[in-house]
Structure 1
Amino acid sequence: MISNLNAANAYNTARQLAAPAHAASSGTAGKLGDAAEEFAAQMARVDSVSTGALTGQVETHQLVQTIAEAELAMETVVAIRDKVVEAYQEILRMPV
């Protein structure tokens, strides 16, 4: 299970990947792919914990914690997407 510290570390890693200094480094695409896979795994955990809570196999506090972690992951992904769109729009505004 992911703790709040792990979620904060994942957010910090994603924030560093979105920074301009890492754009030129090799392996950035691989790191972004890993982050996307980790995000997909987090969403899958939410699904399984939700199902477990509905069937009575998972306690409520674990469900709430998992949903909070998923919310943090979603906010991180949305922030990264916003930065990518902003960078794309900046490139479109450049004179040719």
Structure 2
Amino acid sequence: MDLSPIQAGLAGTPVSKPNAATEAAAGFADMLRQAELQAEAAVTGGADPHALVTALAEGQLAVDTVVTIRDRVVEAYQEILRMQV
């Protein structure tokens, strides 16, 4: 059994480059932060209401998409569990 990736990770050296899932999660987090900043600016009176509505709608769409994907993954997992071997 090759333990070199584990040892490299323990030594503090990067094991691999970030994958697409990590990059997508970072993009999702950035979009939610942007919506939060727009909402904060609107409350303090320093933002365009149109930009606020757009940012909130994008955030809601992203959350709905993630929930739908999660539901489908859970459904597929449950279907696999019901299969007889």
TM-score by length of 1: 0.64
Specify the structure having the higher radius of gyration (Cα). 2
1:31 and 1:82 mapped to 2: Cα distance? Answer: 21
- What's the % identity of the aligned pairs? 47
Q: How many residues align?
A: 68
Secondary structure at the aligned position of 1:57 is classed as coil
> RMSD between aligned alpha carbons?
1.5
Q: Which residue of 2 aligns with 1:26?
A: none
Deviation at residue 32 of structure 1 after TM alignment: 2.2
2:80 is equivalent to residue 91 of structure 1: yes
Q: How does 1:11-90 map to 2 (within 5 A)?
A: 30-90=19-79
The gaps in structure 1 that reach 5 residues or longer are 1-28
CA shift at 1:91, angstroms? 1.2
* Cα distance in 1 between the residues matched to 2:73 and 2:43: 37
Q: Which has the higher helix share?
A: 1
